[in-house]
């Protein structure tokens, strides 16, 4: 397993081009947040916006729309349960990130199935939280697209069938091959399994053990993937910086909140920009 380190990540964050515009930096659709877990999807959407995604639209329960507009005016919203609007929006985006706070209801499972039906081969699909649990629970067949799963150990157990004690690098690699997807296995030292490569994070700390921290990472992966041409580099950079910011804040804080990580993303990205003078 290779280590993700600062000097590697620095090579991945390009300087923005003078003649670029929002369209250059990708369109992201963020799907999740039922009536009780609107906070999860607000964190995911905010992380995508603060990571620099060009345009972010959020499909969430209508109960969350006002709060989301108030917290994150940069994002557009649509009704999570309106199948037609959701189907139309999927066609317009480059990246879909689905699952934070989605819940495990029958209606939520229908949303996941709808996305699987309509996503096409060139798009990127990131599945987190409830979407991973639903894939396992409903034994859903996976769509033909660029797929990333971001499970914690409990979700990985549901998805791969490997118990927490047995989650060794070899077993995880075998499960990755079967799923034919990128696996971001979150933990105190997150592991990333690509088809031909695997990596271990070198940053992160227990001050980050706070609800919503994974929702935030999912949004960062989406935001980085929206902008960077190499999707594997985007995933590595997002995982590393999420925890690197967590470490920097934990120097002075006993706990680090997901919203604090989000606010710090733009300045830390600037520090990691290529060829910074």
Ligand X SMILES: NC(=O)C1=CN([C@@H]2O[C@H](COP(=O)(O)OP(=O)(O)OC[C@H]3O[C@@H](n4cnc5c(N)ncnc54)[C@H](O)[C@@H]3O)[C@@H](O)[C@H]2O)[C@@H](O)CC1
Ligand Y SMILES: Nc1ncnc2c1ncn2[C@@H]1O[C@H](COP(=O)(O)OP(=O)(O)O)[C@@H](O)[C@H]1O
Q: Which residues bind ligand X (CB under 6 A)?
A: 37, 39-40, 99-102, 129-130, 133, 152-155, 164, 187, 211-212, 214-215
Q: Which is nearer to Mg ion, 216 or 227 (CB)?
A: 216
Number of C-beta neighbours around residue 247 at 10 A: 15
Taking residues 93 to 132 in sequence order and writing x for each that binds Mg ion by CB under 5 A, - otherwise, the string is ------------------------------------x---
- Name which of residues 80 to 109 contact ligand Y (CB under 6 A): none
Q: What angle do CA 100, 101, 102 make, to 5 degrees?
A: 90
Distance, in Å, from the CA atom of 250 to the CA atom of 36, rounded to the nearest integer, reads 29
Task: Identify which of 174, 200, 173, 198 has the alpha carbon closest to the alpha carbon of residue 188.
Answer: 200
Partner in contact with 102, chosen from Mg ion, ligand Y, ligand X, none, beta carbon below 5 to 8 Å by kind: ligand X
Q: Which is nearer to ligand X, 61 or 155 (CB)?
A: 155
Q: Which is nearer to ligand Y, 55 or 175 (CB)?
A: 175
* β-bridge mates for residue 57, sequence order: 29, 76
Environment class of 98 (CB within 10 Å of its CB; exposed 0-12, middle 13-18, buried 19+): buried
The residue behind tokens 């910011």 is 245
Partner in contact with 101, chosen from ligand X, Mg ion, ligand Y, none, beta carbon below 5 to 8 Å by kind: ligand X
Q: DSSP assignment of 161-180, as one string? A: ---GGG--HHHHHHHHHHHT
Query: By three-state DSSP, how is residue 34 classified?
Result: coil
Given candidates 213, 228, 236, 249, which one binds ligand Y under the rule CB under 6 A? 213
Structure tokens of 97?
A: 């990130």
Residues that bind ligand Y in the complex, under the rule CB under 6 A: 129, 152, 186-188, 190, 204-206, 208-209, 211-215, 217, 243
Residues that bind Mg ion in the complex, under the rule CB under 5 A: 129, 214
Annotated binding residues: 40, 101, 152, 186-190, 214-215
């Amino acid at each position: 397993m290779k280590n993700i380190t600062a000097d590697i990540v620095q090579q991945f964050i390009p300087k923005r081009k003078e003649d670029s515009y929002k369209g250059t930096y990708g369109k992201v659709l963020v799907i999740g947040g039922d009536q009780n877990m609107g906070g999860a999807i607000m964190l995911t959407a905010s992380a995508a916006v603060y990571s620099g995604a060009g345009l972010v639209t959020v499909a969430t329960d209508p109960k969350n729309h006002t709060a989301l507009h108030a917290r994150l005016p940069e994002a557009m919203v649509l009704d999570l349960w309106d199948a037609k609007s959701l189907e139309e929006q999927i066609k317009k985006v480059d990246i879909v990130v689905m699952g934070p706070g989605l819940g495990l209801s029958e209606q939520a499972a229908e949303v996941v199935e709808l996305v699987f039906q309509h996503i096409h081969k060139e798009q990127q699909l990131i599945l987190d939280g409830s979407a991973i649990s639903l894939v396992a629970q409903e034994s859903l067949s996976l769509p033909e697209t660029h797929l990333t799963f971001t499970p914690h150990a409990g979700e990985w157990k549901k998805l791969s069938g490997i118990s927490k004690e047995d989650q060794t690098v070899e077993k995880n690699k075998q499960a990755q091959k079967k799923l034919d997807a990128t696996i971001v296995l979150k933990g105190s030292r997150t592991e990333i399994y690509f088809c031909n490569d695997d990596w271990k994070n070198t940053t992160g700390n227990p001050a980050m053990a706070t609800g919503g921290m994974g929702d935030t990472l999912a949004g960062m992966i989406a935001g980085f993937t929206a902008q960077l041409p190499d999707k594997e580099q985007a995933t590595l950079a997002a995982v590393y910086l999420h925890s690197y910011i967590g470490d920097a804040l934990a120097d002075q804080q006993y706990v680090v909140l997901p919203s604090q990580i989000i606010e710090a993303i733009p300045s830390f990205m600037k520090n990691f920009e290529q060829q910074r003078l």
